[in-house]
């Protein structure tokens, strides 16, 4: 082989190698969404108390300021805020602590329309713990206080929601697993007083509990839930639905038929029938599109493998959109906080696009975004994080999403032993992941 031929061969090999390298990096970048990460501080990570999905919310925004809360490695409640998209967070360690050894005892926050921060924390069949900031836009909390003084002795799963009329909604379970009722309270910023809105909206009749998720849209408040017949998660069954157009005072079915309150197992509208022992998870997420059409997401097993599913209302009929993301089967059963191969999912809808936010052991427990065009209904997956987040579950800034369609995700690498155990791990940083742009998919 002469020198010219050898040079030509080397050039061809170089071009081919360069093409393969560029192809590799193209595929790698395509599988990874562009994100900006800001770190706030170290958090407790021996269980998933900082990242359980039912926190609602771990992260929220108001007038260009973003707020978050978490437990630090010593179990102290930490509050933080920043100007949106800034790198630096102002951090305050509060005088309040929580029982971080129980992953139920999460922190929920909200900002009212006057800028006051409302915080509720540390509950699992325990007394109400609630405080608000001393002044607007401040991280300094006042003394603990009651709300109405009624049904506040056995609180679990507290959550705040901002209503379009400027009021705050506060919901929680009163009673124990398998025999609890749903309580709903309202905060008026003018009077700065809480009042009881519903003392027993969804009645377990001392036989079961409703495990719900709530979404607030322009038209009103949307609730969906599963029933649980005992402390055992395997007794979860059915997905039910209710809607309120008047701030939670009256409720109706998707047909417009008014509910006689409280709602019971016999009177609840079924969006989808799911039998017990289906590995149906509780407390996932729901959203509505611009027209007010509800979308409910969960996972359960009806064909051998638990899969994420979306139940949605179209032309007055409930429909099911399935996925096939997960490959290995597992069985959901028992009590306490479970160590599960997949997280509970969050859901977002924008125009014709549907997004699910989750993590899966089969994807190295990275934060993943699944998306589809609602007309095409073919799913694609992209990782949001380059790193594992352990037993993390999704929580994002819903106020920011509603206002600007920007996705900011609360993130921490946490561990969770099955059944309320603790893992021996070093404290992990609490972070916020900002997605630059959500992926799109053509309709056809």
Residue range 121-160, pLDDT digits in tens: 999 999 999 999 999 999 999 999 999 999 999 999 999 9
What percentage of the chain carries pLDDT values higher than 70? 92
How much is the pLDDT for 437? 87
d(CA 222, CA 206): 24
Mean pLDDT value of segment 331-357: 93
Strand, coil or helix: 115: coil
How much is the pLDDT for 338? 82
Mean pLDDT value of segment 65-71: 98
The reported pTM is 0.91
Query: What is the residue whose two structure tokens read 């010219």?
Result: 4
**332: Cβ–Cβ under 8 A, 6 or more apart, which residues?**
233, 234, 236, 279, 280, 281, 306, 338, 340
Which is nearest to 285 in space by CA: 167, 394, 411? 394
Length of the chain: 444
| Contact predicate 414/50, CB 8 Å | yes
Residue 213 pLDDT greater than 60, yes or no? yes
How much is the pLDDT for 31? 57
Q: Where are the beta strands (DSSP E) in 72-220?
A: 76-83, 90-97, 107-111, 117-121, 130-132, 155-162, 168-176, 179-188, 193-198, 209-216
- pLDDT tens for 360-386 read 999 999 999 999 998 877 899 999 999
**159: Cβ–Cβ under 8 A, 6 or more apart, which residues?**
54, 55, 56, 57, 108, 170, 171, 172, 214
Mean pLDDT value of segment 184-201: 96
How much is the pLDDT for 375? 84
How much is the pLDDT for 398? 97
With cut-offs at 50, 70 and 90, classify the pLDDT of residue 11: very low
Can the peptide bond before residue 57 be classed as cis, meaning omega within 30 degrees of 0? yes
Residue 55 pLDDT greater than 90, yes or no? yes
- pLDDT tens for 399-416 read 999 999 999 999 999 999
How much is the pLDDT for 244? 98
- pLDDT tens for 20-49 read 333 333 333 345 788 999 999 999 999 999
How much is the pLDDT for 165? 93
- pLDDT tens for 276-335 read 999 999 999 999 999 999 999 999 999 999 999 999 999 999 999 999 999 999 999 988
Cα Rg of the chain, angstroms: 23
With cut-offs at 50, 70 and 90, classify the pLDDT of residue 444: low
How much is the pLDDT for 247? 96
């Amino acid at each position: 082989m002469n020198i010219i031929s050898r040079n030509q061969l080397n050039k061809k090999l170089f071009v081919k190698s360069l093409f393969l390298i560029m192809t590799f990096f193209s595929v790698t970048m395509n599988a990874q969404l562009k994100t900006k990460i800001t770190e706030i501080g170290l958090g407790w990570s021996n269980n998933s108390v900082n990242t359980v999905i039912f926190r609602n919310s771990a992260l929220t925004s108001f007038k260009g300021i973003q707020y978050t809360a978490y437990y630090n490695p010593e179990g102290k409640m930490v509050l933080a805020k920043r100007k949106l998209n800034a790198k630096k967070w102002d951090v305050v360690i509060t005088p309040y602590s929580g029982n971080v050894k129980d992953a139920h005892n999460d922190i929920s926050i909200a900002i009212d329309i006057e800028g006051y921060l409302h915080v509720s924390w540390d509950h699992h069949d325990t007394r109400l713990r609630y405080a608000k900031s001393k002044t607007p836009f401040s991280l300094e909390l006042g003394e603990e206080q009651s709300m109405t003084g009624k049904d506040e002795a056995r609180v679990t799963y507290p959550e705040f929601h901002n209503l379009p009329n400027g009021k705050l909604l506060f919901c929680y379970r009163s009673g124990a697993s398998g025999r609890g009722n749903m309580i709903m309270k309202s905060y008026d910023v003018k009077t700065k007083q809480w009042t009881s809105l519903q003392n027993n909206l969804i009645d377990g009749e001392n036989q079961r509990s409703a495990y719900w998720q709530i979404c607030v849209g322009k038209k009103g408040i949307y609730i969906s839930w599963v029933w649980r017949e005992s402390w055992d998660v395997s007794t979860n069954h059915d997905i039910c639905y209710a809607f309120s157009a008047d701030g939670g005072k009256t409720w109706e079915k998707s047909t417009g038929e008014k509910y006689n309150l409280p709602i019971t197992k016999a009177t609840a509208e079924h969006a989808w029938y799911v039998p017990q022992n289906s590995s149906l998870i509780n407390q996932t997420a729901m959203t509505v599109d611009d027209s007010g059409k509800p979308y409910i997401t969960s996972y359960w097993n009806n064909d051998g493998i638990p899969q994420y599913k979306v139940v949605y209302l179209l032309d007055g009929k409930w429909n099911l959109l399935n996925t096939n993301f997960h490959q290995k089967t597992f069985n959901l059963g028992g009590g306490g906080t479970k160590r599960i191969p997949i997280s509970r999912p969050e859901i977002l809808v924008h125009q014709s696009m549907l997004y699910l936010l989750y993590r899966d052991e089969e994807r190295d427990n990275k934060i993943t975004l699944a998306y589809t065009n609602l007309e095409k209904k073919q799913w694609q997956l992209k990782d949001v994080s380059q790193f594992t987040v352990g037993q993390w579950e999704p929580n994002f800034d819903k106020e920011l999403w509603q206002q600007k369609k920007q996705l900011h995700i609360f993130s921490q690498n946490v561990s969770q032993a099955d059944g309320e155990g603790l893992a021996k791990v070093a404290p992990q940083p609490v972070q916020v992941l900002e997605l630059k742009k959500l992926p799109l998919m053509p309709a056809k």
